[in-house]
Homo-oligomer: A and B are copies of this chain.
Amino acid sequence: MLISKLGEFGLIERFKKHIRLDSSVIRGPGDDCAVINFSKDKYLLFTCDMIVEGVDFRPQEDPYLIGRKAVAVCISDIAACAGTPRYCLISLGMSRNKTTAFADKISKGMRDIARNFKVNLVGGDLSAARKTVIDVSMIGLVSKKRLVLRSGAGVGDIIFVTGALGGSILGKHLKFTPRVKEAQFLTKKFKISSMIDISDGLIQDLGHILSLSNKGAVIYEKLIPVSPKARNTKDALYSGEDFELLFTMSQQQARKLIDSGMRNFKPIGEITSKEYGLSLIGINGRKKDILDKGFKHF
């Protein structure tokens, strides 16, 4: 059987099946970061993201932005667990025929975003490769009482997003700001029950929260904040690479957040029990079909 038939998530399940972990691992594969017991009051977060020329960026893209994106996606994973990004390693494969100017720009893009987020760029590995490929691995820290996973959504919780969705492929995916500050603000002032960063599209990433939380959800098309760059609401629901945060909190906490007047957190729906599955209510108040359209590698 070809892996394209099994699909990305089928393949991940297959990889996970036989893995054994010791008791220091609080959360292994399946969340935005792995979570490791670190000290009395902190967990270590550990994550990696690979970006490949022709898949995650076009060859003609500005190398500065490619380097920036490679590091930003990992910072976004740490944000999704409400952590502080701290240390990163860069593995870079590229062709011998690239110029030093190309390498300098990639490297400056990485350094600039790392510096902005106070991430230490502590090392890496260089390799020859036909197509440019960058894998960044990152260590973050999170105080134990602030850790948020994908698995904590409860029935009745309100679902929020941090910003407008869709159309990211036109540029935002290379320039987005990882939502570290927002996640830290939220976990400092409120109780967040689950969180994920939207990399594969709202519907698909909400699906990850629902499957790990063993819940269903109703979301309302009219509440989805659609980016001016998006062609339509479908883009906002299904297109990937937004890197906004999707999170849930109890109704009481949600009211407190809404009452606080902060306008960058938009409620889009509610968690239900599992048997309702995921429903999308259209502008006309009727249920709309959910498409199987989020980004998949295979």
Taking Cβ atoms with an 8 Å cutoff, the residues of A that contact B are 1-4, 6, 8, 11-12, 14-15, 18-22, 24-25, 28-31, 33-34, 36, 39, 44, 46-52, 54-56, 86-87, 89-94, 96-104, 107-108, 111, 115, 118, 120-131, 133, 135, 137, 139, 297-298
Contact of A129 among B121, B126, B131 (CB under 8 A): B131
Residues of B within 8 A of A24 (CB): 86, 120
Question: How many angstroms from the CA of A273 to the CA of B12 in the assembled complex?
Answer: 53
Kindly provide the distance from the CB of A107 to the nearest chain B CB, expressed in whole angstroms: 5
CB <8 Å contact, A100 and B25: no
Residues of B within 8 A of A28 (CB): 120-123
Residues of B within 8 A of A128 (CB): 52, 55, 297-298
Q: Which residue of B lies closest to A26 (CB)?
A: B122
CB <8 Å contact, B50 and A93: yes
Q: Which of A48, A52, A99 has the most CB of B within 10 A?
A: A48
Kindly provide the distance from the CB of A44 to the nearest chain B CB, expressed in whole angstroms: 8
CB <8 Å contact, B22 and A118: yes
Question: How many angstroms from the CA of A115 to the CA of B19 in the assembled complex?
Answer: 9
CB <8 Å contact, A3 and B96: yes
Question: How many angstroms from the CA of A111 to the CA of B1 in the assembled complex?
Answer: 22
Question: How many angstroms from the CA of A36 to the CA of B136 in the assembled complex?
Answer: 17
Kindly provide the distance from the CB of A257 to the nearest chain B CB, expressed in whole angstroms: 30
CB <8 Å contact, B46 and A89: yes
Asked if A123 meets B29 with Cβ closer than 8 Å, knowing A3-B103, A128-B55, the reply is yes
